[in-house]
Structure 1
C-alpha cells in the first residue's frame, strides 16, 4: 500500500464538523452507496421531525409524513441507465416503493435532464408519452416537474418523485418484522435486469437469437416490473409485517436491506428462489449472477407463518406467482 492511502472512508474536520470522505484511490463503483457509509451519513445529516413517521435509512423504501386522517408516503428515484422506455420505468419504480409501504401511488413529479446537442422535441415528447402511459396504468396523476437540456450527459436521466397515501392502520414498516415470519418472494428474480440487458444490448440477438431476445425484452411488461398489485393484494389479504422491492444489487442486496431495516437475521433456502428460464439462460451465457442482477418486478414480503399461506393463495389466484423462500431469524443467527 502506498503511504497515505487507505481502503475505506476517512473523516476530516471542517468548522468543527466531521466530514466523511472516501479515498480517491478507491472510488465507488456504479450502483448504490455502501450501506454502512449511507447509514453513517444519514445519522449525521438528518434530524427528527415529529410529523415524519419513517425517517430515511437503509432498506426503507420511502418516507412517511403524518396528516390528521392518513399518512403521506413520498419517494424519489432516478432512472440513469435505461434509454428505452425511460419515462415508463421512472413511474413504475417509484410507484413500487410507495406500494411496498402499504400505500397507493397518487401523484408523480418528474425531472428530465437531457443531453445538450442530442435532444430534440421528438425525444422529449417520447419521454412525456411514456410517463403518461405509466401514470394511466397506475391511476397516477403527473402533477409537476422540471425539464433541462444540460451538458455532461451522454443519455437522458429521469428523476421521479412519487407521492402516495395510506390509511394509518395499513402502513407497513420493517420494524414490525418478527423472528419466525415467513419470507415470501413474488414472480421471480432479475426480471428487470433480464429485460434491460436484452433491450440495451442490441448485439445479443446474434448470440442468442432474435426470438429469445424478444422474449427477454417482453418481460418488462409480462410478468412486468410493477409490484403495486402484489403489494396491494398482500396487504389487504393478511397481516403483513414488511415489504421490500429489491432493485440495484438484486435479490441479495434486497434481502440484506430488509434485514438491516428490520434489525433481524434471515435463513434463505436458495433452491426455493424462482428464476425465470430466460433469466437463467441469459445469465449463464453472460456469466452473470442472477442474485445480483437488478430485480424490480419481485416483491419480498415478511408475514407471520399462519398469514403467509393466505397471502400466497390470494397472489396466485390473481395470477402472481409467489412462494416462501425462507424465515426471519434473530439478528445474531444470520
Structure 2
C-alpha cells in the first residue's frame, strides 16, 4: 500500500477537513501521525488510524502494534482500538479466525480494549486489508510530536533499519529467499524481529523520563521517509550518516538477495528520536537497560526548507527534499513477486 503524493495531499486532503472546531487542537498535516482533541481541562484524546495490506501472515497482530506505536510516540499510552477487516472475495472462516485471533492477542499484549469496528469482504482484493484506529488519553502539555524536533538536537535510531520489512520478507517470501541461497537459520532469525515491532514500552519510558523532544516510528518508506517526515513536520534540515545506522545481518543479507535499500524498507519498531545532545547518554542508557540497541546517526542542523542529507556508505551524498510515496521497497518487492 503506497502513500499519496504530497502535493495531492495538500490539495485534496489537508484543505478538506470539514468543520473547524475549537476542540480539535491538532489535525492532519505532513509528518504528524496523530490528531489531538480536547476533552476536559488539560486532558486530550490522541488518536491515529493505520491500514496494513503489505503482509499476509500475522496481519492482524501487526496492524494493532503499528497503530498503537504512533499513539505511544506521542507520549501517550494506547487504551482503545477499533478494527476494520476487509477480506478477499474468496475468503474462508479460517482466514477470519486467524486475523481476529491475532488482533485479540496483540490487544492483550498492549493492555488495550477493542471497542468496535467493521468486518466484511470486498471484490477485487487479493489479500486481506486490516485498518486499526487507536486512541489514548494524555495531558496536552506532555504531548510529543515530530514537529518538536529542534536545531541542535541529536538524532538517535533504535534496533535496526528495515526491521519490519525483514520480518515480513522472512514470513511471506521464505521460498524465494531459500531459492536465492539464504539459509534457513538466517530466515528463522529474521522472523524473531516480529517481536521487536512494538515501540510502546520504550516510547513511554522515554516520554515519562521527559528527555526527548520528538519521536517518530519508521513505517512505510522506512527510516529515510521517517526522517523526511520529521523534517517536514519541524521545518528543519537533518543530516545523517548511513554507516552509523544500525543494520542487522539478516536485513543486509535480504537486501543483497532481493536488491533493496534498507533505508527505504518499512521499519515499524525502529524509533527515530530527536534529543538534546546533553541527554543522548541518558536516552541510550534507558534503552540499553530495556535491552534495546540504539545509535546516534546525525543531528538536526537548522530551521530550513524541509530537507534530509544522507551521507551514503559508498561515499556520496543523497539529498531528500520531497516526500516520495513511491519509494516503498516492500511494495516494489510484492510487485516483482506477486504470488509469494
Tell me what 1:59 maps to: 31
Q: CA RMSD in A?
A: 1.5
How many aligned positions are there? 302
* Paired residues for 1:108-187 under 5 Å: 108-116=81-89, 118-187=90-159
**Range 39-48 or range 101-110, more displaced:** 39-48
Give, in whole Å, the separation in 2 of the partners of 1:299 and 1:293. Answer: 14
In structure 1, which of residues 202, 206, 212 is the aligned counterpart of residue 186 of structure 2? 212
CA shift for structure 1 position 101: 0.9
CA shift for structure 1 position 258: 0.5
3-state SS of 2:78 partner: strand
Tell me what 2:212 maps to: 240
Preserved CA contact (<8 Å) 1:238 1:308:
no
Preserved CA contact (<8 Å) 1:237 1:310:
no
Tell me what 2:50 maps to: 77
In structure 1, which of residues 33, 44, 57 is the aligned counterpart of residue 4 of structure 2? 33
Preserved CA contact (<8 Å) 2:14 2:28:
no
Query: Does 2:226 correspond to 1:254?
Result: yes
Give, in whole Å, the separation in 1 of the partners of 2:12 and 2:214. Answer: 24
3-state SS of 1:146 partner: strand
CA shift for structure 1 position 60: 0.7
| Structure 1: 4+ residue segments shifted above 3 A | 331-334
In structure 2, which of residues 76, 94, 98 is the aligned counterpart of residue 103 of structure 1? 76
In structure 2, which of residues 32, 36, 60 is the aligned counterpart of residue 87 of structure 1? 60
- 1:151-207 deviation digits (Å, cap 9, x = unpaired): 111121111111112222321023332210111111111010111111111322232
Q: Which has the larger radius of gyration?
A: 1
Give, in whole Å, the separation in 1 of the partners of 2:280 and 2:51. Answer: 32
Tell me what 1:27 maps to: none
Preserved CA contact (<8 Å) 2:239 2:298:
yes
Tell me what 1:5 maps to: none
Preserved CA contact (<8 Å) 1:109 1:161:
yes
The unaligned stretches of length 5 or more in structure 1 are 1-29
Give, in whole Å, the separation in 1 of the partners of 2:217 and 2:8. Answer: 21
The unaligned stretches of length 5 or more in structure 2 are 308-340
Tell me what 1:269 maps to: 241
Tell me what 1:332 maps to: 304
Tell me what 1:25 maps to: none
